[in-house]
């Protein structure tokens, strides 16, 4: 037995690997070409127009034999040698989606063989790592080469043993097209769902409705998607069955099926209690939606990377239209049927702008979607999809390849009435946390003019306050400061939050009957000249709070007509009093006092958006609901603060 030094054994291993790789290359390619020719015949017809849809490219590009993630098609190779694949069965490639049509009452069959080089493992993070090593190798980093060769040499030696090892296989499918109603006006049901059958038994190589029930697993698609996982070391047989035709629907199904040893290629989370997508607000033809924090890392490099990516795509659809019913969990179904798709290079992107914003609690990056061109007084459904394949391309994080395409639970949102006197404003310079609908009038000007009307006013108010604050001993030694616990910065921040919410009223339709809303400007005409039906105004006290806006400037310059205001939260005022020097004279009214009703509203313990605060949205998570502070010391009416406003 010759003993090799570690260096020699590395060399030997790497030499062996290189030779093996070369032999593999020579052996594999001729049968591969033959296979491609065979497949072309076996491939089913796929709708042409589906190919026109801008599907993001599948995340696995064709690879060369020197790429570490290159997967020699042993499975197909074995089959073509042994002739095991029955006719009419399509072979699936690891982590690639296969498109296929299926007619009512028939079953399409697939077979998936575990990738032979099984040491690659199920965790995608490793793929990323290895491709980094190869890049190092290319750049001539010696350590990278050694590490890579050693690992690969070892793997080549062990691959025969590992081939038999069990692996977890993730099977997923999406319905891309479904039969359409013969008479849409009469049809009140959705097209029936496809069914996925899975078998690993050599006895049942054709799973489907007619096969032995004990020899297969059955998963009925849910809203156009099915997922199933199993651990096996055998070939996996898959059937996708379309139900018998009914008289109400016409047409065939088209679907995509994928098997992967890494993760679900198509996943969905309809049971997720975590609402990924938050409806912030809307106006008569637009809506603003936002994802959760994309990261909570304080690391600026991580934040920078996130800021330059757009990890989510969003689909929106008018709920009156039934077209997406039955495919709400299906990425490619949504691509086919959703009215609005916020996909880069996708359709109807003119109706939605998406950016990464840091607005909102915590100031972490979030992806924002801003729609326009929606119908007024309409209910919409928004469905967020994280496109793991897009992430991979942008190399966001090490775990990116561990994700496929994931469809999240839908978020409902509605647009406001066509009175057009509430309009969304975003991207304010001074009140940078403000993004919601404000009292408006189409004749006042565009959204940026409206935004600066409110924002400039708030900034001017703040400048007055800033002068007063400068006279307080903020930076004085501790013994002379107004409080040891609060600084002038705390006071300035609390004032800004309060000011922006008070100066920029949050607008709701006058027809919104929620009890916590304050009717405003009931005596004015709507922008279209019509007036409130006297019956609607009946019972409203004929006082200033109802007959005018909070800020007379709004009635003078904008003249929005009757609207309702979502009042600022009372805790904005309490925070102001707590954080600012008593000498500034701030005070807050208590519920029941003169000055509370019509000026402030309270958070309700039951949740929901019952009052306005910077960064507020229609769905308020428990964490965002600021606790209402104790108020023993807070007496009196807003003094100086309101004074500034009315000045
Ligand atoms: C695999 O399937 C089982 C049920 O069949 C499920 O409980 C489990 O969460 C699945 N695993 C993954 C990683 O999805
Ligand atoms: C579907 O139709 C076939 C014949 O057309 C019939 O044999 C079968 O029982 C039907 N299946 C169902 C679930 O109705
Ligand atoms: C973002 O993170 C902050 C800080 O952890 C948290 O308060 C806030 O609720 C999060 N925002 C969303 C939309 O999840
Ligand atoms: C708006 O309504 C019309 C008529 O009901 C409908 O055809 C159209 O699809 C709707 N558009 C959107 C974006 O909801
Ligand atoms: C969204 O609207 C649909 C239809 O009205 C309803 O069934 C569903 O429960 C709503 N979802 C949420 C989260 O409110
Ligand atoms: C809005 O109107 C102003 C003039 O009032 C104009 O300068 C500006 O370009 C407009 N902005 C947009 C986005 O149309
Ligand atoms: C407030 O005043 C301070 C100086 O007292 C100044 O540095 C700061 O820029 C002012 N802030 C604003 C928003 O005017
Ligand atoms: C309400 O406002 C309208 C116009 O804004 C005015 O004509 C009317 O007199 C006001 N009514 C009361 C009771 O102040």
Cβ(424) – ligand 4 distance below 6 Å: no
Q: What is the pLDDT of residue 207?
A: 94
Q: Where residue 365 sits, what CATH number does that domain have? A: 2.60.40.10
Q: Residue 481 in contact with residue 473, Cβ under 8 Å? A: yes
Task: Single out the residue in 382, 414, 446 at which a domain terminates.
Answer: 414
CA distance linking residue 73 with residue 93, whole number of Å: 8
CA distance linking residue 17 with residue 65, whole number of Å: 12
CA distance linking residue 85 with residue 382, whole number of Å: 43
Instruction: Give the range among 163-172, 302-311, 575-584 with minimum mean pLDDT.
Output: 302-311
**Shortest CA distance to 249 belongs to which of 188, 186, 183?**
183
Of all protein residues, the one whose alpha carbon is nearest to atom 3 of ligand 4 is: 375
With a cut of 50, say whether residue 47 has pLDDT above it: no
CA distances from 39 to 90, 113, 237, 532 (A): 8, 16, 18, 69
Q: What is the pLDDT of residue 477?
A: 64
Cβ(195) – ligand 8 distance below 6 Å: no
Where do the H-state alpha helices sit in 446-580?
447-470, 488-503, 534-537, 544-547, 552-553, 570-579
Of all protein residues, the one whose alpha carbon is nearest to atom 3 of ligand 6 is: 449
Q: Residue 360 in contact with residue 377, Cβ under 8 Å? A: no
Cβ(475) – ligand 7 distance below 6 Å: no
Q: What is the mean pLDDT of residues 466-478?
A: 75
**Any domain includes 62:** no
**Any domain includes 239:** yes
Q: Where residue 98 sits, what CATH number does that domain have? A: 2.60.120.380
Q: Residue 455 in contact with residue 446, Cβ under 8 Å? A: no
Cβ(244) – ligand 2 distance below 6 Å: yes
Query: For residue 67, what is the DSSP state?
Result: S
Q: Residue 292 in contact with residue 306, Cβ under 8 Å? A: no
Confidence class for position 460, pLDDT limits 50, 70, 90: very high
Q: Are residues 395 and 428 in the same domain?
A: no
Cβ(617) – ligand 3 distance below 6 Å: no
Q: What is the mean pLDDT of residues 407-422?
A: 92
Q: Which ligand is nearest to the CA of 382?
A: 5
With a cut of 60, say whether residue 145 has pLDDT above it: no
C-alpha 207 to ligand 3 mean position (Å): 46
**Any domain includes 73:** no
- Concatenating the DSSP letter of every residue in 136-160 gives HHHTT-HHHHHHHHHHHHHHHHHHH
**Any domain includes 24:** no
Task: Single out the residue in 414, 430, 450 at which a domain terminates.
Answer: 414
Going across the sheet that includes 253-260, the strands are 98-102, 253-260, 167-177, 225-232
Q: Which ligand is nearest to the CA of 451?
A: 6
Which helix (H) or strand (E) segment holds residue 642: the answer is: helix 640-646
Q: What is the pLDDT of residue 482?
A: 63
With a cut of 80, say whether residue 547 has pLDDT above it: yes
Q: What is the pLDDT of residue 18?
A: 58
How high is the mean pLDDT of the chain? 75
Three-state secondary structure call for residue 237: strand
CA distance linking residue 494 with residue 471, whole number of Å: 18
Q: Are residues 478 and 410 in the same domain?
A: no
CA distance linking residue 645 with residue 212, whole number of Å: 77
Q: What is the pLDDT of residue 506?
A: 95
Cβ(523) – ligand 8 distance below 6 Å: yes
Atom of ligand 4 nearest to the CA of 374: 13
For the chain, how are helix, strand and coil distributed in percent, rounded to 5?
30, 20, 45
C-alpha 224 to ligand 1 mean position (Å): 19
Cβ(125) – ligand 8 distance below 6 Å: no
Of all protein residues, the one whose alpha carbon is nearest to atom 2 of ligand 6 is: 446
With a cut of 50, say whether residue 495 has pLDDT above it: yes
Q: Are residues 277 and 311 in the same domain?
A: yes
Q: Are residues 385 and 462 in the same domain?
A: no
Q: Are residues 587 and 443 in the same domain?
A: yes
**Any domain includes 70:** no
Half-sphere exposure of 401 (CA within 13 A, CB side): 22
Q: Are residues 363 and 485 in the same domain?
A: no
Atom of ligand 7 nearest to the CA of 430: 13
Cβ(18) – ligand 4 distance below 6 Å: no
Q: Are residues 436 and 390 in the same domain?
A: no
Q: Are residues 120 and 225 in the same domain?
A: yes
Q: What is the pLDDT of residue 127?
A: 36
Contact residues for 126 (Cβ-Cβ < 8 A; gap 6+): 120
**Any domain includes 59:** no
CA distance linking residue 613 with residue 569, whole number of Å: 6
Q: Are residues 315 and 365 in the same domain?
A: yes
CA distance linking residue 13 with residue 4, whole number of Å: 11
**Any domain includes 426:** yes
- Strand-pair category, 89-92 with 253-260: unpaired
Cβ(467) – ligand 7 distance below 6 Å: no
Q: Which ligand is nearest to the CA of 552?
A: 8
CA distance linking residue 201 with residue 463, whole number of Å: 77
Confidence class for position 415, pLDDT limits 50, 70, 90: very high
Cβ(463) – ligand 7 distance below 6 Å: yes
Q: Are residues 593 and 472 in the same domain?
A: yes
Q: Are residues 581 and 433 in the same domain?
A: yes
Q: What tens digit of pLDDT does each residue of 360-392 get?
A: 878 888 999 999 889 999 999 999 998 765 544
With a cut of 70, say whether residue 478 has pLDDT above it: no
- Strand-pair category, 217-220 with 436-439: unpaired
Cβ(374) – ligand 4 distance below 6 Å: yes
C-alpha 446 to ligand 6 mean position (Å): 6
Q: Which sign does the torsion angle of CA 513, 514, 516, 520 carry?
A: negative
Instruction: Give the range among 472-481, 515-524, 563-572 with minimum mean pLDDT.
Output: 472-481
Beta-sheet strands, E only, within 361-486: 366-371, 379-387, 405-408, 411-414, 422-425, 436-439
**Shortest CA distance to 410 belongs to which of 446, 433, 379?**
379
Q: Which residue has the higher pLDDT, 273 or 75?
A: 273
Instruction: Give the range among 115-124, 491-500, 617-626 with minimum mean pLDDT.
Output: 617-626
Of all protein residues, the one whose alpha carbon is nearest to atom 12 of ligand 3 is: 292
**Any domain includes 646:** no
When divided into structural domains, the chain yields a total of: 3
Q: What is the pLDDT of residue 394?
A: 43
Q: At what angle do helices 142-163 and 6-42 cross, to 10 degrees?
A: 60
With a cut of 70, say whether residue 443 has pLDDT above it: yes
CA distance linking residue 617 with residue 607, whole number of Å: 12
Confidence class for position 252, pLDDT limits 50, 70, 90: very high
Which of left, alpha, beta for 362 (phi over 0: left; psi -120 to 50: alpha)? left
Q: What is the mean pLDDT of residues 491-520?
A: 92
Confidence class for position 459, pLDDT limits 50, 70, 90: very high
C-alpha 130 to ligand 6 mean position (Å): 51
User: For the chain, what percent of residues have pLDDT higher than 70?
Assistant: 67
Pocket test for ligand 3, best of 275, 291, 292 (most atoms within 8 A of CB): 292
Of all protein residues, the one whose alpha carbon is nearest to atom 7 of ligand 6 is: 449
Phi and psi of 448, rounded to 5°? -70, -35
Q: Which ligand is nearest to the CA of 260?
A: 1
Three-state secondary structure call for residue 635: coil
Cβ(105) – ligand 2 distance below 6 Å: yes
CA distance linking residue 66 with residue 464, whole number of Å: 68
Q: What is the mean pLDDT of residues 457-481?
A: 81
Query: For residue 459, what is the DSSP state?
Result: H
Q: 271 exposed, middle or buried (CB, 10 Å; 0-12, 13-18, 19+)?
A: exposed
Q: Which domain holds residue 489?
A: 422-637
Task: Single out the residue in 238, 266, 294 at which a domain terminates.
Answer: 266
Q: Are residues 398 and 442 in the same domain?
A: no
């Amino acid at each position: 037995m010759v003993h090799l030094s570690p260096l020699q054994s590395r060399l030997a291993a790497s030499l062996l690997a290189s030779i093996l790789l070369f032999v593999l290359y020579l052996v594999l390619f001729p049968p591969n070409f033959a296979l491609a020719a065979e497949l072309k015949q076996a491939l089913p017809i796929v709708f042409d127009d589906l190919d026109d849809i801008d599907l993001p490219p599948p995340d696995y590009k064709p690879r060369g034999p020197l790429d570490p993630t290159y997967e020699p098609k042993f499975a197909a190779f074995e089959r073509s040698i042994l002739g095991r694949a029955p006719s009419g069965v399509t072979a699936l490639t690891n982590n690639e989606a296969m498109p296929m049509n299926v007619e009512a009452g028939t079953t399409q069959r697939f077979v998936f063989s575990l990738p032979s080089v099984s040491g690659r493992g199920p965790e995608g993070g490793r793929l990323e790592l290895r491709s980094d090593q190869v890049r190092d190798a290319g750049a001539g980093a010696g350590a990278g080469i050694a590490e890579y060769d050693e690992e690969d040499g070892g793997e080549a030696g062990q691959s025969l043993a590992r081939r038999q090892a069990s692996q977890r296989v993730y099977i997923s499918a999406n319905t891309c097209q479904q039969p359409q109603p013969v008479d849409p006006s009469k049809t009140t049901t959705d097209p029936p769902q496809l069914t996925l059958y899975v078998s690993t038994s050599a006895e049942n190589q054709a799973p489907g409705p007619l096969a032995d029930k004990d020899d297969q697993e059955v998963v009925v698609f849910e809203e156009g998607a099915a997922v199933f996982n199993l651990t096996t070391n055998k070939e996996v047989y898959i059937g996708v069955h379309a139900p018998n035709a009914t008289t109400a629907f016409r047409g065939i199904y088209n679907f995509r099926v994928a098997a992967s040893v890494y993760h679900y290629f198509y996943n969905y989370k309809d049971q997720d209690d975590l609402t990924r997508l938050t409806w912030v607000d809307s106006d008569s033809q637009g809506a603003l939606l936002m994802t959760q924090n994309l990261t909570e890392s304080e690391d600026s490099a991580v934040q920078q990377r996130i800021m330059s990516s757009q990890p989510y795509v969003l689909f929106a659809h008018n709920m009156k239209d039934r077209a997406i019913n039955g495919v709400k969990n299906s990425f490619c179904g949504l691509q086919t049927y959703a009215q609005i798709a916020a996909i880069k290079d996708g359709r109807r992107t003119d109706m939605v702008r998406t950016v990464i914003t840091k607005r909102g609690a915590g100031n972490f990056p979030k992806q924002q979607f801003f729609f326009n061109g929606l119908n007024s007084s309409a209910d919409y459904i928004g469905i967020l999809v994280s496109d793991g394949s897009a992430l991979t391309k942008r190399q966001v994080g090490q775990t990116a390849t561990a994700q496929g395409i994931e469809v999240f639970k839908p978020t409902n949102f509605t647009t406001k009435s066509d009175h057009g006197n509430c309009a969304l404003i975003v991207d304010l310079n001074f009140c940078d946390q403000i993004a919601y609908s404000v009292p408006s009038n189409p004749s006042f000007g565009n959204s940026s003019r409206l935004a600066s009307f409110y924002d400039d006013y708030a900034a001017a108010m703040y400048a007055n306050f800033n002068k007063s604050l400068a006279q307080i001993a903020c930076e004085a030694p501790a013994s002379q400061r107004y409080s040891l616990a609060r600084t002038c910065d705390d006071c300035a921040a609390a004032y800004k939050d309060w000011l922006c919410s008070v100066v920029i009223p949050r607008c709701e339709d006058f027809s919104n009957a929620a009890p916590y809303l304050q009717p405003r400007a009931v005596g004015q005409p709507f922008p279209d000249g019509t007036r409130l039906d006297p019956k609607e105004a009946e019972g409203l006290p004929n006082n200033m709070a109802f007959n005018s806006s909070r800020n007379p400037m709004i009635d003078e310059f904008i003249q929005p007509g009757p609207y309702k205001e979502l009042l600022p939260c009372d805790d904005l005022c309490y925070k102001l009093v707590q954080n600012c020097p008593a000498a500034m004279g701030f005070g807050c009214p208590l519920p029941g006092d003169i000055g509370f009703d019509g000026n402030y509203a309270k958070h309700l313990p039951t949740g929901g958006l019952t009052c306005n605060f910077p960064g507020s949205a229609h769905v308020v998570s428990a964490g965002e609901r600021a606790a209402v502070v104790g108020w023993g010391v807070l007496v009196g009416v807003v003094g100086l603060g309101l004074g500034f406003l009315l000045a």
